[in-house]
Amino acid sequence: GDAMVDHHRALRQGFPEVIFGESKSVGQIERIMAALAARGNNILVTRIDEAKALAVREAFPQARHHAEARCLTLEQKPVEPRGRGTVLVVSAGTSDLPVASEALVTLRMLGNAAEHLYDVGVAGIHRLLARREALFAARVVIVVAGMEGALPSVVGGLVNCPVIAVPTSVGYGASFGGIAALLGMLNSCAAGVTVVNIDNGFGAAVAASMINRE
Amino acid sequence: GDAMVDHHRALRQGFPEVIFGESKSVGQIERIMAALAARGNNILVTRIDEAKALAVREAFPQARHHAEARCLTLEQKPVEPRGRGTVLVVSAGTSDLPVASEALVTLRMLGNAAEHLYDVGVAGIHRLLARREALFAARVVIVVAGMEGALPSVVGGLVNCPVIAVPTSVGYGASFGGIAALLGMLNSCAAGVTVVNIDNGFGAAVAASMINRE
Amino acid sequence: GDAMVDHHRALRQGFPEVIFGESKSVGQIERIMAALAARGNNILVTRIDEAKALAVREAFPQARHHAEARCLTLEQKPVEPRGRGTVLVVSAGTSDLPVASEALVTLRMLGNAAEHLYDVGVAGIHRLLARREALFAARVVIVVAGMEGALPSVVGGLVNCPVIAVPTSVGYGASFGGIAALLGMLNSCAAGVTVVNIDNGFGAAVAASMINRE
Amino acid sequence: GDAMVDHHRALRQGFPEVIFGESKSVGQIERIMAALAARGNNILVTRIDEAKALAVREAFPQARHHAEARCLTLEQKPVEPRGRGTVLVVSAGTSDLPVASEALVTLRMLGNAAEHLYDVGVAGIHRLLARREALFAARVVIVVAGMEGALPSVVGGLVNCPVIAVPTSVGYGASFGGIAALLGMLNSCAAGVTVVNIDNGFGAAVAASMINRE
Amino acid sequence: GDAMVDHHRALRQGFPEVIFGESKSVGQIERIMAALAARGNNILVTRIDEAKALAVREAFPQARHHAEARCLTLEQKPVEPRGRGTVLVVSAGTSDLPVASEALVTLRMLGNAAEHLYDVGVAGIHRLLARREALFAARVVIVVAGMEGALPSVVGGLVNCPVIAVPTSVGYGASFGGIAALLGMLNSCAAGVTVVNIDNGFGAAVAASMINRE
Amino acid sequence: GDAMVDHHRALRQGFPEVIFGESKSVGQIERIMAALAARGNNILVTRIDEAKALAVREAFPQARHHAEARCLTLEQKPVEPRGRGTVLVVSAGTSDLPVASEALVTLRMLGNAAEHLYDVGVAGIHRLLARREALFAARVVIVVAGMEGALPSVVGGLVNCPVIAVPTSVGYGASFGGIAALLGMLNSCAAGVTVVNIDNGFGAAVAASMINRE
Amino acid sequence: GDAMVDHHRALRQGFPEVIFGESKSVGQIERIMAALAARGNNILVTRIDEAKALAVREAFPQARHHAEARCLTLEQKPVEPRGRGTVLVVSAGTSDLPVASEALVTLRMLGNAAEHLYDVGVAGIHRLLARREALFAARVVIVVAGMEGALPSVVGGLVNCPVIAVPTSVGYGASFGGIAALLGMLNSCAAGVTVVNIDNGFGAAVAASMINRE
Amino acid sequence: GDAMVDHHRALRQGFPEVIFGESKSVGQIERIMAALAARGNNILVTRIDEAKALAVREAFPQARHHAEARCLTLEQKPVEPRGRGTVLVVSAGTSDLPVASEALVTLRMLGNAAEHLYDVGVAGIHRLLARREALFAARVVIVVAGMEGALPSVVGGLVNCPVIAVPTSVGYGASFGGIAALLGMLNSCAAGVTVVNIDNGFGAAVAASMINRE
Ligand SMILES: Nc1ncnc2c1ncn2[C@@H]1O[C@H](COP(=O)(O)O)[C@@H](O)[C@H]1O
Ligand SMILES: Nc1ncnc2c1ncn2[C@@H]1O[C@H](COP(=O)(O)O)[C@@H](O)[C@H]1O
Ligand SMILES: Nc1ncnc2c1ncn2[C@@H]1O[C@H](COP(=O)(O)O)[C@@H](O)[C@H]1O
Ligand SMILES: Nc1ncnc2c1ncn2[C@@H]1O[C@H](COP(=O)(O)O)[C@@H](O)[C@H]1O
Ligand SMILES: [Mg+2]
Ligand SMILES: [Mg+2]
Ligand SMILES: [Mg+2]
Ligand SMILES: [Mg+2]
Ligand SMILES: [Mg+2]
Ligand SMILES: [Mg+2]
Ligand SMILES: [Mg+2]
Ligand SMILES: [Mg+2]
């Protein structure tokens, strides 16, 4: 039982417990959730597919399934608001939505005010520019993008706050499962842009949350 | 003598002869130029460094050295204007200038009206947007960019004409000598963008010239 | 609904609306098609597999399924002819046919006269040379090839017009899902060759269409 | 003149102007510095080698050369302190010092209180643990490391604040010029770690500075 | 029959016979086991999945299935203890357990005293330090880790004995199926660390066993 | 002395001795040559630059320097003709000449009748077709090509005999020091094509010589 | 119908017709076979899986299925012996057998005397040395090997005839689907070794057959 | 001073102090040596070139320069013999000698009996087999090899003791600076082989020394 809890991914005091669901069975997830729930904490399960989520919810009917984000959350006590401002998640195409949603669910479980600006891509720059106020109002921006990964550079050039770039594995051919986007982001010519692993919406949200805390 | 002619850079009737100077000695370049000049053609030497260019100009004083473009041109007869419109070369940083200049010199030797929009990068999008008319007036746009290679996507989203993207080897670390920019451009989500080899300003100009011809 | 329309891939006025079907469900495709059809436009769905196409056709019986091209088209008004000449699509092996067909369907939906030259490969050069007239008659040539990606160089050496090369993911072993072909095309020693992403017949057709327009 | 300004390293109002010295001649650097100095701003030149720095200091004797950081700074007015806390730069081996120093010089020019913890590597974990207080006192930590790039994970597991990881090109063989370290950092299993380009001490400092501002 | 025996993986006199089960059918595995069993030897089958293991056990009911290790063992005679000390297997996350288990089963079949230290990762360094005695007591340490592969460096810095590092294919995005971990381990800055192929728990155990023998 | 002999380039009885000059000093080359010459054998030194060759020729004035091939030969007895037919070396650009010449010198030292067809590239296919008889007359063809490496496929489609392809490191950008050409050749769709290492004209000649022997 | 015949892979007069079965349906294979059979030729279908082969044999009951080789052959007339000697196929592990078998079936359909030496690997060098006579008796040797791809070097050092190396995609982890073996073979330090694409037993056999012909 | 000590190459009590000379100036090396010498320890400097070594020897005339190994040693007290047996270093070509020598010098400074078997490569397997006794007598074998990296597999198949493989950056073309050899070694099919970084003779010697200790 205890061996299953991913201590290496434990966050800090006052945060929810997090379970990385990807390679775990329904039974394993349930056993870990039970152990963690007994301590009274809130719980966030990431990378859990539809089928597993439905099965786990039979044991924990009060858990909430965020289908697009592939997450499950169990709130045993209200999430305490923390953070000095808003974290804005910006995404381009429809296929980037799961990663953006993972970031949003994580941000909210960590007590942040979080907004989503979607359907804004570099090849239609006016849609992004039309949302300038939302950009300027943010304390941290998370930019989720696949394909050529150019969006964080444009956003970083507009805003004055930290930008966390999340490459996604969206694309085909020479996108190489997100490598093209990752390299684009690492080479960003805008100041203040840092990068996390491909598809790691969770990690971006944790970093943004630390930046945003009071 | 004949064995030295760069057939792989040979263009069509009425175009100048082209010599790829990179791995050739001053003596070799001079011998080829003499042979080609005897036929009365115009000549374009690309990838020729400062030292070689000065040496060659001693034999061909009427040749013109384009230092930034690393080119040498010999015009024995006036370049015949051809092309339905203007070819616009767009570049971002100062280190992209040699490649942009190679494209410009080539475009002009091929009879095109060519303009240059420089110092416009994705991280300062307003500088690009301020030049919208120049963009809209072009028949073809060549976009030269290193680092994250995002500029062609933004330009392609603004204009309605063909965009040829040239990745440059500018950058360090994970730019991998132009690979990051190349991948970014191949994954461009803007319609109408095609790509040439890293640093290949010459090739972009030849393709643009073919597109632009009447 | 609206969030699903891929604005970042929208073409220009007078062109059909395009839906990238790959990661969309039947329900999503139908909702987007309904929204777009209401505006009276023609519609092109790319990357839609057999099963999805059949399902969508139940809702839109007047839509046409192009099985080999993996496309679905809905023509609500006649496609307006545009373009100064013919766009020729050249392909080598039978496995390159889906990508070549995607290019052909797209070209025709964009109002171009388009022809197909198939079964011509570099290892049987006489079959290509026997079709010289078709090559010389084209305004733009799209060359689709996998394996070593050598065909665009040979074609580019024969014709005098722009050549757009499309690497395909055909092959095994060291073809690396199209990388070998992509690199071959980027290094083409023929003037006037530009390249698009692996398997991107759609993108090649849009670029060719822009080149071909009056 | 103006064309030479490195817009891609341009920061905001109230920050110093930044010149990326790497591919610029002494003459170019001097001309840009003169133009910027005329506006009364502070100036930071990065990636400038010993020889160039000495030459430039003849024209600007009041400039200060930071040899290890490969930077030159010109303070025309006192740097305004900004930032809520201390930014701690942690580095492992002696070969990581130039990148760590670039970060430190940049941090100070941007008004941050900055400290340096050096000579702490994962293979001698006690030296790091002995400095726990310094780590816990920081508002942001920048970790500079080459070779296997493991230090940010260990640091990230200890601290509760954002960690910015900078891979360095130090190493040989399978370090591949910093790729091994970069991949290690992107895969960090510690929460709150984000990554910048190989050797990009400047970029890390700018991001840290944005996080640290009041 | 004989052609099926994996001579290239044959160990020495007195050791068990080993069958690499991955690409073999149940029938093939049974035939080889029968041939080997006839010689009276102990047998170890690695890389055998659940379904195959169950099927094979019908023919060899006395065989033991190690589900997590994906191994099957047949002990026809007691395993002779050999080795001067203990081999310690250290692993980090739950997903590294199958590889660690493969190493443990192999070590024991080869006559070694073997222990397992699990759930210790670099991002929670105190859990590792709390187990210092186990580390110091070992004659050889095998460290199994995915993601950034940093654990062997930390362990190697603590212990004075040989460390064999096994990268695992655990992770996503830029972990590239274990390449990030592999590179991290090859670049380990701790003395005495050597590396085996990704997921090769078996190979690490054989090498450790040779080191440990009297 | 003996330790210096390049066993890895050692050929058989009756063949010349071969010295790989690349990383050897003039003194080392002279000492090895003296030892080998004493046995009365012919000697071939490959990968020897201009300066070293001149220096070595002072000690061995009867040695012949093949400048373009970067080889030195010492014929102490006449080369015995062997081989059933002609080996044809085909090369494309001027930069492939050193590798083609290394193959030619090696072929002749090994007793083969060898011819050279140069200045024939895929982008000017007529020049190749004009030399059809030479191609058809060969017993083995060695094709040397850089850039996209397409020439072996075209040649292999024309001839009926074995084709050995030698990729060269000629090119820039995405040619990646010969990788593009190497991949192109490995993926050749012409039957009967085999490949050697980048720039390995020597190895191709040895293999061709074995094929050609009576 | 005709468009389906892979002309680009047609061999010469007197050889069988070859169909590459991989991406073809049963219907396609049958239609091509019928067309080719009508011309009276022998037919070789490669890369055809169990299920397809069984289906095709219902239409062509006289066809022979070579299950391990994944081939189907139809002999309408006796295969004419050609070739001056024996072609020896050498393979190491059991997983290399399918590729070795593809080579053997192809060799025999092309009229060669072909032998197989299996179960000989570099880690058990005595098994190879025990078969020295078979090696010395061959006119050409094809070496099929995965993992580290070392076998061709050892064989090439023993024999005096051409060696064609076929890397296989066998292995896991850092074997990268055959890349490790491919690189090992390209870097072979034995003279006379040439290489074909990963898993390309067919191509090796065609090249060997050309070498072996009278 | 202290900051310069290469803690990452620090060994244990009773071992010499080690300085990694590569990126250090003569002055830095001298200052560190002086500090370490004051403690009475033996000192090993690795990766120090000819010029630096000569300069350092002026300050420390009693230091010994091992030119081929690129090492400098200072023995202030006799090296204490430790180790249960002999460590055998095996190398193939002349270009592998520097790495083999680095291993030998390190082994001896660490108190091991060390022997060298050179000029044995896989393409001349008899030379290796002729030295079988030396191989069988060893307690640990270090195999140094570039190019295809096949030697460790052959040696590992012969001996019964641990084999540490060191890939070298020797080679050209597709050897990719040692990657081909590294991959070959990681995929070794011989049991008991582990691998260190490219050119890391030092690291192999430290690991071998730990294995060999009593
Ligand atoms: N989607 C995700 N991507 C990366 N890391 C995650 C993700 N979700 C959870 N984690 C991390 O995984 C830890 C839990 O992992 P585990 O113990 O395997 O369930 C958390 O503490 C987080 O640090
Ligand atoms: N096969 C294709 N390959 C690449 N891009 C495509 C393809 N089909 C459509 N697109 C682009 O995708 C856009 C629609 O994408 P979406 O909005 O995701 O449906 C179009 O406007 C096109 O630019
Ligand atoms: N999991 C494993 N990973 C790597 N090598 C293995 C593994 N299991 C067995 N082996 C090796 O495979 C050999 C047996 O292989 P095979 O003859 O194919 O069954 C043994 O002698 C071992 O050297
Ligand atoms: N297994 C194989 N690997 C590579 N090429 C093959 C293979 N089998 C057949 N071919 C080639 O494929 C051609 C037939 O291909 P296709 O026309 O696609 O059936 C033959 O003429 C051969 O040159
Ligand atoms: Mg910004
Ligand atoms: Mg556009
Ligand atoms: Mg052309
Ligand atoms: Mg932390
Ligand atoms: Mg240690
Ligand atoms: Mg042929
Ligand atoms: Mg041989
Ligand atoms: Mg062994």
Q: How far is CA A21 from CA A38, D166, F157, in A?
A: 19, 29, 54
Q: How far is the CA of C191 from the centre of ligand 2 (A)?
A: 29
Among the partner-chain residues A95, A122, A173, the one whose CB lies closest to the CB of C23 is A95
Tokens 């070739």 appear where?
G83
Is a pLDDT exceeding 60 seen at residue H8?
A: no
The pTM is what?
0.92
Q: What is the pLDDT confidence band of residue F163, given thresholds at 50, 70 and 90? A: very high
Are chains G and B in touch, 3+ Cβ pairs below 8 Å? no
Backbone phi and psi for residue H34, each to the nearest 5 degrees, phi listed first: -60, -45
CB G71 within 8 A of CB G169: no
Q: Which of residues 61-120 of E touch A (CB under 8 A)?
A: 92-95, 118-119
Is a pLDDT exceeding 60 seen at residue G3?
A: no
Residue H214's pLDDT is 72
Distance from CA of H146 to the nearest CA of G (A): 9
| Closest Cα in chain F to G6 | F189
Is a pLDDT exceeding 90 seen at residue B33?
A: yes
Whether A19 is in the pocket of ligand 1, judged by its Cβ within 6 Å, is yes
Q: Which of residues 156-185 of B touch F (CB under 8 A)?
A: 167, 169, 178-179, 182
Query: What is the C-alpha separation between C68 and G25, in angstroms, rounded?
Result: 13
For H115, the 3-state DSSP assignment is strand
| Closest Cα in chain E to D182 | E180
- Residues E75-84 have pLDDT tens digits of 999 999 988 9
Residue H13's pLDDT is 60
Is a pLDDT exceeding 80 seen at residue H10?
A: no
- Cβ neighbours of C190 in F, within 8 Å: 122-123
The pLDDT > 70 percentage for chain B reads 93
Q: What is the pLDDT confidence band of residue C19, given thresholds at 50, 70 and 90? A: very high
Whether E73 is in the pocket of ligand 3, judged by its Cβ within 6 Å, is no
Radius of gyration over alpha carbons of chain E, in Å?
17
Distance from CA of E98 to the nearest CA of A (A): 12
For the CA of G5, the nearest ligand: 4
Query: What is the C-alpha separation between G49 and G54, in angstroms, rounded?
Result: 9
- Cβ neighbours of C162 in B, within 8 Å: 207, 210-211
Q: Mean pLDDT, to the nearest integer, of D36-63?
A: 95
Q: Cβ contacts of residue H118 below 8 Å, gap of 6+?
A: F3, H90, H91, H92, H97, H100
Average model confidence (pLDDT) for chain B? 91
Strands C71-74 and D64-66: unpaired
Residue D210's pLDDT is 95
List, as one string, the DSSP characters of B109-143: HTT-EEEEE-S--GGGHHHHHTTHHHHHH-SEEEE
- Residues H71-112 have pLDDT tens digits of 999 999 999 998 899 999 999 888 899 999 999 999 999 999
- What amino acid is encoded at A144 in this protein? V
- What amino acid is encoded at E170 in this protein? V
Could you tell which of E46, E66, E70, E74 is best to mutate to test the pocket of ligand 3, judged by most ligand atoms within 8 Å of the CB? E46
Residue C1's pLDDT is 33
Contact D207 A193 (CB under 8 A): yes
Among the partner-chain residues C11, C162, C186, the one whose CB lies closest to the CB of B191 is C11
Residue G11's pLDDT is 61
Is a pLDDT exceeding 90 seen at residue E3?
A: no
3-state helix, strand, coil in chain B (%, to 5): 45, 20, 40
- Residues D117-175 have pLDDT tens digits of 998 988 889 999 999 999 999 999 999 999 878 899 999 999 999 999 999 998 888 88
Per the structure block, which two tokens stand in for G199? 């898993």
Q: What is the pLDDT confidence band of residue E144, given thresholds at 50, 70 and 90? A: very high
Q: What is the pLDDT confidence band of residue C82, given thresholds at 50, 70 and 90? A: confident
Q: How far is the CA of F184 from the centre of ligand 11 (A)?
A: 26
CB E44 within 8 A of CB E16: yes
Is a pLDDT exceeding 50 seen at residue D77?
A: yes
Name the stretches of chain A with pLDDT < 50: 1-4, 7-9
Helices (H), chain C: 26-38, 50-59, 97-109, 125-129, 132-137, 151-158, 179-186, 201-212
Among the partner-chain residues D12, D187, D195, the one whose CB lies closest to the CB of A194 is D195
- Cβ neighbours of C175 in G, within 8 Å: 197
CB F140 within 8 A of CB F208: yes
State the chains in contact with F (3 or more Cβ–Cβ pairs under 8 Å): B, C, G, H
Q: Cβ contacts of residue D13 below 8 Å, gap of 6+?
A: none
Whether D189 is in the pocket of ligand 1, judged by its Cβ within 6 Å, is no
- Cβ neighbours of D197 in B, within 8 Å: 172-175
Q: How many CB atoms lie within 10 A of CB E27?
A: 12
- Residues E53-74 have pLDDT tens digits of 999 999 999 999 999 999 999 9
Contact F93 B182 (CB under 8 A): no
For the CA of A124, the nearest ligand: 6
Is a pLDDT exceeding 80 seen at residue F11?
A: no
- Residues C102-147 have pLDDT tens digits of 999 999 999 999 999 998 988 889 999 999 999 999 999 999 999 8
Residue G123's pLDDT is 85
Among the partner-chain residues D92, D95, D147, the one whose CB lies closest to the CB of H23 is D95
Per the structure block, which two tokens stand in for F95? 């930069």
- Residues B119-133 have pLDDT tens digits of 898 888 899 999 999
Distance from CA of D9 to the nearest CA of A (A): 6
- Residues H34-45 have pLDDT tens digits of 999 998 889 999
Given CB atoms, is B153 within the 8 Å cutoff of chain A?
yes
Q: Mean pLDDT, to the nearest integer, of H172-191?
A: 91
For the CA of D188, the nearest ligand: 1
CB H152 within 8 A of CB G150: no
Distance from CA of F205 to the nearest CA of G (A): 8
Q: How far is the CA of C116 from the centre of ligand 2 (A)?
A: 22
Could you tell which of G8, G23, G46 is best to mutate to test the pocket of ligand 4, judged by most ligand atoms within 8 Å of the CB? G46
Helices (H), chain D: 26-38, 50-59, 97-109, 125-129, 132-137, 151-158, 179-186, 201-212
Average model confidence (pLDDT) for chain E? 91
- Cβ neighbours of D191 in A, within 8 Å: 9, 11, 203, 206-207
Is a pLDDT exceeding 90 seen at residue H11?
A: no
Contact G187 H175 (CB under 8 A): yes
Q: What is the pLDDT confidence band of residue D6, given thresholds at 50, 70 and 90? A: low
Residue C11's pLDDT is 62
Per the structure block, which two tokens stand in for G123? 């880690």
Kindly report which listed range (B157-161, C188-192, D191-195, E60-64) carries the lowest average pLDDT score: C188-192
Per the structure block, which two tokens stand in for G203? 């191509």
Q: How many CB atoms lie within 10 A of CB C40?
A: 8
Higher pLDDT, G88 or F36: G88
Backbone phi and psi for residue D167, each to the nearest 5 degrees, phi listed first: -70, 145
| Closest Cα in chain E to G123 | E8
